[in-house]
Amino acid sequence: MITSEQVLSALRQVMHPELKRNLVELEIIRDVVIENDRIAFALVLPFKEVPIKDDLVRSAREAVAALDPSLEIEVRLVEMSQQERAAFMTAADGGPKSAQSFNTVDSVLAVLSGKGGVGKSSVAALLAVALHRRGERVGVLDADITGPSIPKMFGLHQTPLMGPVGILPAETETGIKVMSINLLLSKEDEAVIWRGPLISSAIKQFWAEVAWGRLDYLIVDLPPGTSDAALTVMQSIPLNGIVLVTSPQDLAGMVVRKAAGMAQHMGAPILGVVENMSYITCPKCGERIEVFGPSHVLHTTAQLGLPLLGQLPLDPDLARRCDAGQIEKYGAELFKPIAVKIAERIPATKTAPQS
């Protein structure tokens, strides 16, 4: 009669190919059940779909089968909870391997607005798409933890996988890499009810523990305002520049000037201002209609001493594309010159992280 200790002893011979420790030592073998000629046990993984899962299952099955070839062996895959995953990554191999030593990101651009509702995330996504169409390698870090919208715009739903050096970002149809808290939730409309320290910790993890690889540009979509999240990005992530987004109203301009003041106080270079929802073009006569009244953006840029990078219209087609997860199929002809101006104004040096 095979015993549980014999099963565990056999599984101690199976090494995790990335962590170089055996499965029992890593505490990912659980619930060993022996019934006559049937042996069942659970293999607990950080994510069910880790790339090496099939190799681990096969190796574990073969190790136990070596005890007696006539045995029926059942290996059940179980996914760790968030708390178990965090503990596993901390304990495994002395802690998670830092993806930062494998990442090379030439330019990090943050997109910031003073208030919500001005289309900051759509501008961040359009910037990523425009740069990618120029042949650049682009990633998007969705730092708007409590109001993430980047995955929806790009039609992304798959849970990121765990690679040998960190979390593997999701990839869009055209190859833009994306990391967002929404990709880790069971439902895309699930609320993230976190206080500042947890939000800051998640942003730092998205920067340090995601295997971005080689990127020409990483676009960071910041939450609106001057909250902990924006401060965390400016203090912890080396930035090449910030793009401010506003809308025509003087109210929006007033609030975006507050955001600009924070960025300047933190020593983060501001590349310029994009005015979104400046006007709408009548589909029948082509007349340009200022839906929100005359623009106040030149007053804002003059006060800040910054250039106006461009003005974007309200476009129902963009709204439809974002809702359908097809922003990469949006023409975005008016955004091309904005992307060019941004690329031309990026300084060669990055800010130095303060913590």
> Which CATH number covers residue 206?
3.40.50.300
Residue corresponding to tokens 């920067």:
207
Domain that holds residue 296: 99-345
Tell me, yes or no, whether 186 and 316 share the same domain: yes
Place of tokens 């929802």: 277
Q: Are residues 110 and 75 in the same domain?
A: no
Please say whether the beta carbons of 146 and 224 come within 8 A: no
Phi and psi for 162 in degrees, rounded to 5?
A: -95, 120
Question: Are the beta carbons of 245 and 119 closer than 8 angstroms?
Answer: yes
Q: Which of 73, 94, 115 is the last residue of a domain?
A: 94
The verdict on 36 and 185 lying in the same domain is no
Contact between 154 and 326 under an 8 Å Cβ cutoff? The reply is no
In a domain, 52, yes or no: yes
Q: pTM (2 decimals)?
A: 0.72
Q: Within the chain, which residues score under 50 in pLDDT?
A: 93, 95-97
Number of domains into which the chain is organized? 2
Residue 340 to residue 345: CA distance in whole angstroms: 9
Q: Measured between alpha carbons, how far is 59 from 22 in angstroms, rounded to an integer?
A: 11
Dihedral sign, Cα of residue 335, residue 133, residue 129, residue 281 = positive
192 part of a folded domain: yes
What is the C-alpha to C-alpha distance for residues 308 and 303, in angstroms, rounded to an integer?
Answer: 12
- What local confidence, expressed as pLDDT, does residue 224 receive? 84
Q: Is 344 helix (H, G, I), strand (E, B) or coil?
A: helix
User: How far apart (Å, rounded) are the C-alpha atoms in residues 164 and 231?
Assistant: 30
Residue 352 belongs to some domain of the structure: no
What confidence score (pLDDT) does residue 185 get? Answer: 83
17 plus 163 within the same structural domain: no
Domain match, 282 and 137 both: yes
Rounded Cα–Cα distance for residues 52 and 63 (Å)? 17
The pLDDT value given to residue 1: 78
Is residue 260 domain-shared with residue 233, that is, in the same domain?
Answer: yes
Sign of CA dihedral 270, 306, 149, 139: negative
- Nearest alpha-carbon partner for 160 in 144, 181, 183: 183
What is the 8-class DSSP label of residue 52? T
Question: Is residue 40 located within the same domain as residue 183?
Answer: no
Q: Which two tokens stand for residue 172?
A: 């869009």
What are the Cα distances from residue 152, in Å, to 35, 142, 326, 330?
Answer: 47, 11, 9, 14
